[in-house]
């Protein structure tokens, strides 16, 4: 995410959506729509999300750079570039989880577990994890998950009904968003969407329910974090042994084994796999 420090959004505490260099899927550098790379044959190589990946050296706009404490090891700092930061930020910055509150997380992949970690840091009293893989409960306990709902075994009940019964009225893919919104606490509950559905997918809500429920539905890019100010805070909390990062790294491989890393990801056998270009 860009953090130019100059536009109205970057100067505001209410947004992390830079209007000068807005987020978009582009093969170019953000300011000039050109690439800085060519292969040995002179063919243009393209950027990915303004950063590029799997290379030893790259060219990055200053709006996408954040200075960090050099004492933080790179195989932990890399987790804050995306993923873990998105989940933690979603609880901390976007949802503004209050101490003693209840949080429901739909999907306990790495980002969902990071939401749990963020909710734990915010002091949530109850963190309900929802997933189809029962093994995720034991994993989730490391990050503060207190309760687990197997989405594939709800005895013909809707997820929203199960969670409403657990919480006494609320906690927080298009159908999944509807379920999350349905189980959200009326009056002040928030549903935060971190994932994307297939292109063109639509969300449809009853205008009556929206008007009378008092709930909020919001999207969140990069967990609502402002990179230049919030990333150093997260890394400081890691250094102070408050934020758990080590537990997210289940594998570390050399670049020559990158395909193994993708296999682990596809098979669901890893949380975060760090790829070393060479130590």
State yes or no: pLDDT of 172 exceeds 50.
no
Out of 34-43, 45-54, 254-263, give the one with best mean pLDDT: 254-263
Mean pLDDT, the chain, whole residue set: 89
Q: What is the pLDDT of residue 249?
A: 97
Kindly indicate the confidence band of residue 198, based on its pLDDT and cuts at 50, 70 and 90.
confident
Give per-residue pLDDT as tens, 227-243: 999 999 999 999 999 99
Q: What is the pLDDT of residue 279?
A: 63
In order of their start, the domains of the chain are 1-65 (no CATH), 100-219 (3.40.50.720), 248-279 (no CATH)
Give per-residue pLDDT as tens, 9-48: 999 999 999 999 998 888 888 888 888 888 899 999 888 8
Nearest to 228 by CA among 50, 96, 54, 85: 85
Q: Is the pTM of this model over 0.75?
A: yes
């Amino acid at each position: 995410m860009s953090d130019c420090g100059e536009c109205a959004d970057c100067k505001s505490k209410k947004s992390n959506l830079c209007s000068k260099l807005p987020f978009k899927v582009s093969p170019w550098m953000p300011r000039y729509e050109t690439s800085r790379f060519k292969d040995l044959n002179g063919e243009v190589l393209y950027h990915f999300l303004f950063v590029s990946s799997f290379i030893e050296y790259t060219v990055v706009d200053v709006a996408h750079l954040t200075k960090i404490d050099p004492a933080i090891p790179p195989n932990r700092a890399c987790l804050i570039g995306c993923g873990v930061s998105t989940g933690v930020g979603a609880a901390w910055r976007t949802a503004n989880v209050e101490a003693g509150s209840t949080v429901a997380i739909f999907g306990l992949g790495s980002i969902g577990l990071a939401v749990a970690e963020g909710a734990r840091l915010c002091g949530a009293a109850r963190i309900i994890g929802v997933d189809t893989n029962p093994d995720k409960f034991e994993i989730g306990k490391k990050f503060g998950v207190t309760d687990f709902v197997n989405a594939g075994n709800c005895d013909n009940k809707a997820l929203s009904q199960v969670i409403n019964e657990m919480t006494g009225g609320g906690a927080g893919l298009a159908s999944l968003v509807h379920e999350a919104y349905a189980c959200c606490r009326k009056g002040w509950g928030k549903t935060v969407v971190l994932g994307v559905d297939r292109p063109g997918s639509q969300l449809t809500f009853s205008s009556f329910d929206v008007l009378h429920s008092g709930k909020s539905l919001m999207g969140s890019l990069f967990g609502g974090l402002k990179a230049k100010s919030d990333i150093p805070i997260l890394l400081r909390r890691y250094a102070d042994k408050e934020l758990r990062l080590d537990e997210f790294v289940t594998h570390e491989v050399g670049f020559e084994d990158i395909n193994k890393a993708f296999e682990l990801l596809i098979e669901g056998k890893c949380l975060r796999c760090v790829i070393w270009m060479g130590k």
